[in-house]
Structure 1
Amino acid sequence: MGREFLELFETWAQSYDESVHGHDEEYRDVFAGYDTILNTVVEKSGSVVLEFGVGTGNLTKKLLESGKKVYGIEPSAPMREKAHEKLGDAVLIQDGDFLSFPWPDEAIDTIVSTYAFHHLTDEEKEQAISKYGKRLNKGGKIVFADTAFVDQKAFEQMIKEAKEKGFHNLAEDLEREYYTTLPVLESMFGKHGFSVSFAPLNRFVWLMEAVKQ
């Protein structure tokens, strides 16, 4: 359920914001256009949003600033603390993950996440999509921005490129976590009642916009 990576994020919590704004050369391409990526997710979202993987609260802040009501889910206690420092009491951020989480009492029209869905195996990704499909009403949306690849060959080429550049942390990350491909994601969403489209946001990240049919 992605919680096997919690220790990594508890270590990363203090420096995460520096990484996403380009201070870490290895991950510069991964986070290229970071603010634009977050803004795109905000623009595609409805008025009542459930956010998975709040992290330090960067997307949450933009969602709130745009007038949306946000319910946050974040499994890492240090990340929740950083988000609370940034957001105060403007949003309730609860312990949970993509598969185990408290569902709000009011109707949710959009489920969002950035840079987090790859923490799930493909089997877990499909379980999550199935859960959301049962919860969302017709027209409800999933809007994720995350690293994915057009096919397995492109994924393997990116790992090779990282190693050739001496980006060993990035290469290890790509090999350790559960990055998937667009055809696999398209099949999962379609199987559980969603119409999905993909748009590239940088060399690594794709916008996934899935609408419940």
Structure 2
Amino acid sequence: MGREFIELFEEWSKSYDDTVDGHNLEYREVFSNYERILDSVVSRAHGHTIEFGVGTGNLTERLLNAGLTVTAVEPSPAMREKATFKLQNRTAIVDGDFFEFPKPEQVNSIVSTYAFHHLNDDEKAKAIAIYSQLLKSGGKIVFADTMYLTKEHHEQAILDAKASGFHSLANDLSTEFYTTIPFLEDLLKENGFTVSFDKCNSFVWIMEAEKL
């Protein structure tokens, strides 16, 4: 359920903000337009918002600045520590994941950036089913993450990373659970959502799903 990657996050917490700022050449394109991606996710959310995979709190900070109430969920202790310091206790950062999290009486939006790929497709289906029950009509799921039009596009991205000498990126693309847009589209429609996808860079799309 994504917690198998906690050890990676514990180490990455030390340099995460430098990476998203473009200082790591290997991941520069993955985080291209990072600020605009976060702002776009915030602009699509409303009301009481659950955020999964808070990391160092970059999206959380923007959600709070926009006046939203945020239930912030992060499984990595080191990331929670970084986010708590950055946010100066403006909201609690709770231990949890895409399945295990506090469930407020009213939830209007569920958001996440760069995290949903830590679930395999079966786990993604389980998570979406949970959110479908949690959200009422008009509620939204807004996830920004790496995803692909087809499996062939995913395979080509791995080959391109290897050809560029980006072996860590190639390994990530090979071992984490990046999925396809058609799979997500069918999954969301089956659970009572309308959905659209907007491309943000060569890797990342924003998936916006609204409950019917």
* SS of match in other structure, 2:138: coil
1:38-95 deviation per Cα after TM superposition (whole angstroms, max 9, x unaligned):
0000000002111000000000001111111111000000000000010011011110
> Equivalents in 1 of 2:126, 2:186: separation in Å?
13
Confirm or deny: 8 A CA contact 2:195 2:208 kept in the other structure. yes
1:79 is matched with which residue? Answer: 79
Supply the AA of the counterpart residue of 1:134.
Q
Establish whether residue 198 from structure 1 lines up as the match of residue 197 from structure 2.
Answer: yes
* SS of match in other structure, 2:71: strand
* SS of match in other structure, 1:30: coil
1:7 is matched with which residue? Answer: 7
1:133 is matched with which residue? Answer: 132
1:182-193 counterparts in 2 under 5 A?
182-193=181-192
Give the drift of 1:108: 1.0
> Equivalents in 2 of 1:192, 1:47: separation in Å?
21
Supply the AA of the counterpart residue of 1:94.
V
Q: How many residues align?
A: 212
> Equivalents in 2 of 1:99, 1:66: separation in Å?
26
2:141 is matched with which residue? Answer: 142
1:165 is matched with which residue? Answer: 164
Give the drift of 1:145: 0.3
TM-score when scaled to structure 2? 0.99
Supply the AA of the counterpart residue of 1:45.
A
> Equivalents in 2 of 1:72, 1:104: separation in Å?
12
1:13-92 counterparts in 2 under 5 A?
13-92=13-92
Confirm or deny: 8 A CA contact 2:84 2:92 kept in the other structure. no
> Equivalents in 2 of 1:139, 1:81: separation in Å?
33
Unaligned runs of 5+ in 1: none
> Equivalents in 1 of 2:204, 2:157: separation in Å?
13
Q: Indicate the percent of aligned positions where both proteins have the same amino acid.
A: 55
TM-score when scaled to structure 1? 0.98
Supply the AA of the counterpart residue of 1:81.
E
> Equivalents in 2 of 1:152, 1:30: separation in Å?
18
> Equivalents in 2 of 1:124, 1:111: separation in Å?
16
1:110 is matched with which residue? Answer: 109
Supply the AA of the counterpart residue of 1:17.
D
* SS of match in other structure, 1:188: helix
1:124-143 deviation per Cα after TM superposition (whole angstroms, max 9, x unaligned):
00100000000101110000
Unaligned runs of 5+ in 2: none
